[in-house]
Amino acid sequence: MTGSSPQIAFLGAGLMGAPMVRRLLGAGFPVTVWNRAREKALPLVAEGAALAASPAEAVHGAEIVFTMLSDGTAVRDVLFSQGAAEALAPGAILVDTSSIAPDMARDHAQRLAERQVAHIDCPVSGGTAGAEAGTLALMAGGPTEAIARVAPVIAPLGRLTHVGPAGAGQVCKLANQQIVAITIGAVAEAMVLVEAGGADPAKFRNAIRGGFAESRVLDLHGARMIERDFSPGGPSRLQLKDLRAVEALARASTLELPLSQVVLAEFESLVAAGHGDTDHSALLLHLETLNSHATGKKEDQ
């Protein structure tokens, strides 16, 4: 790695990618950005990023490449169909912060190793708020040396933890999403119960803050439920994608995870009802529909 400011490429400038790029630019790193929808990356140019016309152009000469894409299919397409992997120089490090299946992450690591490129699967937790504040939790799977080399670059993004070999970061992210989804379900059910019982949901949330039920989900997503603000921080369709991956991993490991199965079915129904692009806290809408005889609320309210 050359000097204190390695050349960085960032592939994916969406809800999460754009604020992560801003954190890197703010820390003084030179960043070249590419995004499938070019217009979403244009504001980053005004803030100091260089804009590439293709993934291959973006990664040319880069020492560290970040990907923040919607799913494993998108990552595979950008790397191996659109030429990014071929354009990576030997010795470069790819940090995939997307949330994808662990077996796909291991496959990418193997294919890139054949090109002498290190691969780190490094999914994140903390949502858009964490990306903007630089407080993300980053779960890294991959070789120790490569993770040590990128640690100073990742520092502006949040807290990095090396959790194991290739694929381990994705396993930990699935477990994180499992907890988030189940907790969103618990908070949403409690909101429905409280309102049906005649109490004020906002005052209920304030009353239990600081007790054993306290959590980031109660704090952030509970507030969204009360304000009925379901603009996407974490879209429900991506939460569903992660829960399906949890189910696949559990099945492959012959595990019975009943709570995960229940919340998976709930998110299936929410997305099928047309709420795939709403925030995952909108699971409340599905529960209100199930209980509309008591709440009087429908999904479109």
Looking at every residue in the chain, the average pLDDT score rounds to 95
* 112 pLDDT more than 70: yes
In percent, the amount of the chain with pLDDT more than 70 equals: 96
Name the CATH superfamily, with its identifier, for domain 8-164. Answer: NAD(P)-binding Rossmann-like Domain (3.40.50.720)
Distance in angstroms (rounded) separating the CA atoms of residues 171 and 123: 9
- pLDDT of amino acid 4: 60
**Predicted TM-score (pTM) of this structure:** 0.88
Share of the chain above pLDDT 90, in %: 92
Give me the CATH topology for the region 171-295.
N-(1-d-carboxylethyl)-l-norvaline Dehydrogenase; domain 2 (1.10.1040)
Residue 243, CA atoms < 13 Å, CB-side half-sphere:
27
**pLDDT per position as a tens digit, 183-202:** 999 999 999 999 999 999 99
Q: Which pLDDT band holds residue 234 (cuts at 50, 70, 90)?
A: confident
pLDDT value, residue 5: 86
**pLDDT at site 76:** 98
Note every long-range contact of 39-45, with CB atoms under 8 Å and residues 24 or more positions apart, other chains counting: 40/13, 40/14, 41/13, 43/18, 44/13, 44/18
Contacts of 53 (CB under 8 A, 6+ apart): 34
Catalytic pick from 40, 173, 297, 298? 173
Say if residue 232's pLDDT is above 50: yes
At 2 the pLDDT is: 47
- On the question of pLDDT at 108 being above 50, the answer is yes
- pLDDT, mean of residues 12-21: 96
Burial 6-28 (b: 16+ CB within 10 A, else e): bbbbbbbbbbbbbbbbbbbbeee
Instruction: Report domain extents, the chain.
Output: 8-164, 171-295
Judged by DSSP in three states, 159 sits in strand
Tokens matching residue 179: 């907890």
The H helix count followed by the E strand count for the chain is 16, 9
User: Is 173 noted as a catalytic residue in this protein?
Assistant: yes
Instruction: Give the model's pLDDT for residue 298.
Output: 59
pLDDT digits (tens, 9 = 90+) for 124-174: 998 888 999 999 999 999 999 999 999 999 999 999 999 999 999 999 999
Average pLDDT over residues 250-266: 97
